[in-house]
Amino acid sequence: MQFGKIAIVGAGNVAYTLCKILKHKEINPFCVYVRNPEKAKEVHQDLQIEVVSEYKKVLESDLVIIAVNDDSISEVVSHFVDYKGLAVHVSGTKSSDLLNRVERHGVFYPLQTMSKNREISFDDTPLLIYANSEDDFEKLRDFAKIFSDKVLVCDDERRKAIHLSAVFVSNFTDLMLGIGDKLLKINDLPLEIMKPLVTETVEKCFTDSPDNALTGPARRADFATIEAHEKMLSVYPKEREIYKLLTDYIVEKYHENEKL
């Protein structure tokens, strides 16, 4: 443990999850800053950590994890100009430069989606870390190892590429399940029936590769089925547009010379 007093700023899912894991590892956060004390009570009360709504105590910490939404980071940083500890944000997409006004700064980005009502094991969640000094790198790495076995040292550029990739594999995958759900609901069917298929698809992608695991009408250039699907989607023009674009992408990739 390289940091004595650990402060966390934020009342969102990331702040809450980090607090919860620290408590679980029997490390007591020094304090949690939450701008709105009412909200603080609501979200952090079950964790029995001191919640503050002024920065005075936070500034006594050795490490502050700024776990607020991207657009609020700059405002929070303005309170840490004379801070002597290490300040890190948890954003996948914001530069570490955003914390330049703090002498010792870095990034602590957990590659995971977090909700308050979900228990997450962090053991295999990659933690992407960065610090602007060698010394803090070491300390932050040791700290990160409390949370996860997978700590990756990662500069801004790589972290941003990983974040962009995460939008495809997480947010857009969610969207595909959402459209699938919509198409099932019309027929009074629950998304649940897709679980074995989706689980196996994802498992195959990781065990083998997404390229090798790909099946379906576009992959086998089955234009009769594609046409039938587009016809079925004619009442859902937005979903049809998505179907067409993704189908074209697959057909072009695997059947460049056979395209209609």
128 in helix, strand or coil? strand
Q: Is 183 in the site for a second copy (CB under 8 A)?
A: yes
C-beta of residue 55 within 8 angstroms of C-beta of residue 8: no
Shortest reach from residue 214's CB to a second copy, in Å: 5
Instruction: Please identify, using beta-carbon distances, which residue of 47 and 198 lies nearer to a second copy.
Output: 198
Q: Give CA–CA dist 54/56, Å, rounded.
A: 6
Shortest reach from residue 16's CB to a second copy, in Å: 14
Angle subtended at Cα 72 by Cα 71 and Cα 76, rounded to the nearest 5 degrees: 145
Contacts with a second copy in 132-171 (CB under 8 A)?
Answer: 150, 152, 158, 160-162, 164-171
# binding residues, a second copy (CB under 8 A):
85
Shortest reach from residue 242's CB to a second copy, in Å: 6
List the one residue from 113, 132, 153, 156 that touches a second copy (CB under 8 A): 113
C-beta of residue 230 within 8 angstroms of C-beta of residue 245: no
Q: Give CA–CA dist 117/13, Å, rounded.
A: 9
Q: Which stretch binds a second copy (CB under 8 A): 57-65, 98-106, 131-139, 199-207?
A: 199-207
Residue 102 Cα to chain centre, angstroms? 25
Q: Is 194 in the site for a second copy (CB under 8 A)?
A: yes
Instruction: Please identify, using beta-carbon distances, which residue of 85 and 92 lies nearer to a second copy.
Output: 92
Strand blocks (E) in the chain: 6-9, 31-33, 51-52, 63-66, 86-89, 105-110, 127-131, 151-153
Q: Is 219 in the site for a second copy (CB under 8 A)?
A: yes
Q: Is 1 in the site for a second copy (CB under 8 A)?
A: no
Name the strand (E) or helix (H) holding 20. helix 13-24
Contacts with a second copy in 53-112 (CB under 8 A)?
Answer: 69-71, 93, 111-112
| Of residues 37, 33, 39, 89, the one with CA closest to residue 61 | 33
84 in helix, strand or coil? coil
List the one residue from 118, 134, 237, 258 that touches a second copy (CB under 8 A): 118
Q: Is 181 in the site for a second copy (CB under 8 A)?
A: yes
Q: Which stretch binds a second copy (CB under 8 A): 30-38, 46-54, 133-141, 243-251?
A: 243-251
Both structure tokens of 28: 């007591």
Q: Which stretch binds a second copy (CB under 8 A): 23-31, 36-44, 100-108, 236-244?
A: 236-244
Q: Is 119 in the site for a second copy (CB under 8 A)?
A: no
| Of residues 85, 50, 95, 46, the one with CA closest to residue 65 | 85
Residue 14 Cα to chain centre, angstroms? 9
Q: Is 257 in the site for a second copy (CB under 8 A)?
A: no
Q: Is 193 in the site for a second copy (CB under 8 A)?
A: yes
Q: Is 227 in the site for a second copy (CB under 8 A)?
A: no
Residue type (1 letter), 78: S
